[in-house]
A and B are shown apart, each in its own frame.
Chain A
Amino acid sequence: MTKNALGALMVVLLLGVAAYASFFIAPTDAKQGLIYRILFLHVASAWTGLTGFFICFIANLLYVWRRQPRWDWLGVSAAETGLVFTTVVLVTGPIWAHPVWGIWWTWDARLTSTFVLWLLYVAYLLLRTLIEEPDRRALLSALFGIFAFVDVPLVFGSIRWWRTQHPQPIIMGEPGSGLDPLMYKVLFFTWFAMLGLLILLLRQRYQLEAMRGDLDMIQRDLETA
């Protein structure tokens, strides 16, 4: 309990510093002005969400290989937390896009693939609610998770090649694009703080899932006894 509380305190502190840095330390963008500051939350959430989905993929592989319930618990926890961060990305994106691009949404590679990614993991979580038997649920959802993760680069590639009419990405885009070094520092610090939040949420969700698993086992034992 104290461990969790201490962890939470740390994360709140880190996030506070990150918020302060993104509002007051990072220089104001010459072209976009203040609104660009949402980038720190937006991009850091995107990276953190992807980290969550990557953890989910690894957990899915480990479940298929080792068949230990804990990998299933980790998989569902990572998918859920990843989905939360990706939702933040999808909400903060249009908030930034409207004043800067003049439109809320455009079907460009990153937006569309993020949205498809979000849909894939919603489908993953939905699938889990529709299979009763725990071992079967774990195995089948793990397999779907693997297929979904394999699909992600293909989704991104197809949309980037054929469906993008948009300015090149600023980060990891063409040479000549890029951020001010101080902005990079703030961005990476925000990501670090967000990763702390991810770990915190993941831990809590994992413990909950483990307790659910135990409860399920006890109920089954009682029914058979």
Chain B
Amino acid sequence: MTLLSNTSALLGKELRTEFRSRELLTTTVVFVLIVIVLFSFTFDPTSEESRRFGSGLLWLAFLFAASLMLQPCFLREQSNDTLSAVRLSVGDPFAIFLAKLVANTLFLLATELLLLPLFAIMYNVPVLAVLPWLVLVFFLGSLGISVVGTALSAISAQARMRELLLPLLLLPLLTPILVASTEVTSSLFDRAPYVQWKGIGFLAVFDLVFLTALWLFGEYLLEE
């Protein structure tokens, strides 16, 4: 069970680093807030229209926010070459990925849950009745974004133009997440809300497929 203890130690490090500065969370929250406000100018945000477009708006905002939030994931290890130290102290490099992707999922989920009430108020979409289901979709979607995003940020951190490159690699790969999460969320925003199990299952499959891919190929991403 060294994988678990290593992961939890590294996760503690990720969370400590973030909560000492809170840079990542604050900037991401403000970014999503700006997107939510700006989106209201692109269509007439009545309750009826918001039910139709709201879910897509939310997920697009989350996706863009994630592509910015995931940038420093491996980049901030570079300045003091801390990644080498971490790699030397951990037997299985998958633990590094696991810790980072759990941290990213938590940050993303925190951002989403923080802004959900604001979205509900500003766009007149009642969410309280379907909250548990929304949390489930947010979790599965954010996990998928984080799994793929953590892997790709390890790639983009080693390239030039990395700030532009990460969204470019990440966003087309996340098409399935965007489609499925938007569909499930939009059926929850419906006047007669219902749970789309097919979509939830699809998100779970996506997460599992890419977790497996990361488990198989992750170590090569960190080769010196």
Contacts and interface: CB of A to CB of B under 8 A. Distances in A.
Interface of A: 64, 116, 119-120, 123, 126-127, 130-132, 136, 139-140, 143-144, 146-148, 150-151, 154-155, 157-159, 161-163
Contacts of A123: 168-169, 172
Contact of A143 (B148, B172, B210, B221): B221
A130 B173 contact: no
Q: Specify which of A130, A131, A157 lies most central, judged by the most chain B CB atoms within 10 Å of its CB.
A: A130
Contact of B220 (A64, A116, A154): A64
B217 A140 contact: no
Contacts of A127: 155, 159, 165, 169
B155 A154 contact: no
27 contacts: A64-B220, A116-B172, A119-B172, A123-B168, A126-B168, A127-B169, A130-B159, A130-B165, A131-B159, A140-B159, A140-B221, A143-B217, A144-B152, A144-B169, A146-B213, A147-B210, A147-B217, A148-B173, A151-B176, A154-B209, A155-B175, A155-B176, A158-B179, A158-B180, A162-B180, A162-B183, A163-B179
Contacts of A157: 176, 202
Contacts of A161: 198, 202
B17 interface: no
Interface residues of B, number: 30
Nearest to B217: A143
Interface string B146-183: 00100110010011110001001100110110011001
Given A130-B161, A158-B202, 18 more contacts: A119-B172, A126-B165, A126-B168, A130-B160, A131-B158, A139-B220, A140-B159, A140-B221, A143-B220, A144-B169, A146-B213, A147-B151, A147-B152, A148-B173, A154-B205, A154-B206, A155-B176, A158-B176
Nearest to B216: A146
A147 B173 CA distance: 8
A64 B183 CA distance: 36
Interface of B: 148, 151-152, 155, 158-161, 165, 168-169, 172-173, 175-176, 179-180, 183, 198-199, 202, 205-206, 209-210, 213, 217, 220-221, 223
B178 to A, nearest CB: 8
